[in-house]
Amino acid sequence: MANINGSCIAIGNFDGIHIGHDVLIRRMIDLSKETGQKSIIITFKYVKNDLKKSSMNIKYINSPHTKFEILKTYGADEVVEIELDEIVSKYSPEHFIEMLADDYKAKNIVVGYNFTFGHRAAGNINTLRDYQDKYGYLVEEIPPVKYNGIAVSSTLIRTLLNEGKIYEANKLLLNKYTISTEELSFNREKNIGFISNKSSILVPPDGKYLVRTGKKYYNLKIVSNKNGANLIFDDIVEGNNDIVFIDKV
């Protein structure tokens, strides 16, 4: 980290990058320009099954690859994925803060109002404030961004998707809800994709959906079974493009 002014950092899991995340990240980038600091987006990557949200039956909205690619579009100086392995996942809140100060030269830290960190999520925005003087940074809290009076969160979007409310979820996401082809095994002779229950990616409930792959639109039928979900397309799927969900039909 060569910047003598240190770094301005936005931290979050950033699952299903939504309008609230957008406000947070853009504020960090603006602050980095105001202070002449390096801009860094820090997110997390679960590397063991027992550390993944899916082990608690909570599925991700974005695949790690999709999330990383969206975060790169902000043009921050660096996008960092911290691997939550058996060691890092057990860091105390202060140990985690020490890492931000030492490894990333944090001088400004921007987080959401509900941000938690450290072993068993023991740290929060107040913890960050408590250690400001000791580690020489300033923390800025981004209040909730609301839509129709409700705070926008990954949990809200996950709920909408689990209810098949694609159109409503897409209003809150920066990019329309998408299933990456890396999550699929595909039978091109039958125009059927399959996502195993072992996948950590959320799949909408059974039903019919309007989707797009590449420039072509399809009617997609989702039929689940004990092993996973079949994604049945109404026409020949060309190319290897991600599946962008438009609405439920």
Question: Per-residue pLDDT tens for 85-111?
Answer: 889 999 999 999 999 999 999 999 999
C-alpha distances in Å from residue 11, one per residue of 100, 103, 118, 146, 163: 10, 14, 13, 20, 29
Q: What residue ranges of the chain are covered by domains with CATH 2.40.10?
A: 176-248
Q: How confident is the model at residue 29 (pLDDT cuts 50, 70, 90)?
A: very high
Domain with CATH 3.40.50.620 in the chain: 7-147
> Cα 132 vs. chain centroid, distance in angstroms?
27
d(CA 107, CA 32): 10
Q: Are 196 and 59 in contact (CB under 8 A)?
A: no
Domain 7-147 has CATH 3.40.50.620: yes
Element (H, E) at 138: strand 138-142
Q: What is the pLDDT of residue 46?
A: 74
The fold of 176-248 is: Thrombin, subunit H (2.40.10)
Per residue in 144-190, pLDDT (tens digit) is 999 999 999 999 999 999 999 999 999 999 999 999 988 899 998 89
Per-residue pLDDT tens digits for 132-152 = 999 999 999 999 999 999 999
Contacts of 26 (CB under 8 A, 6+ apart): 74
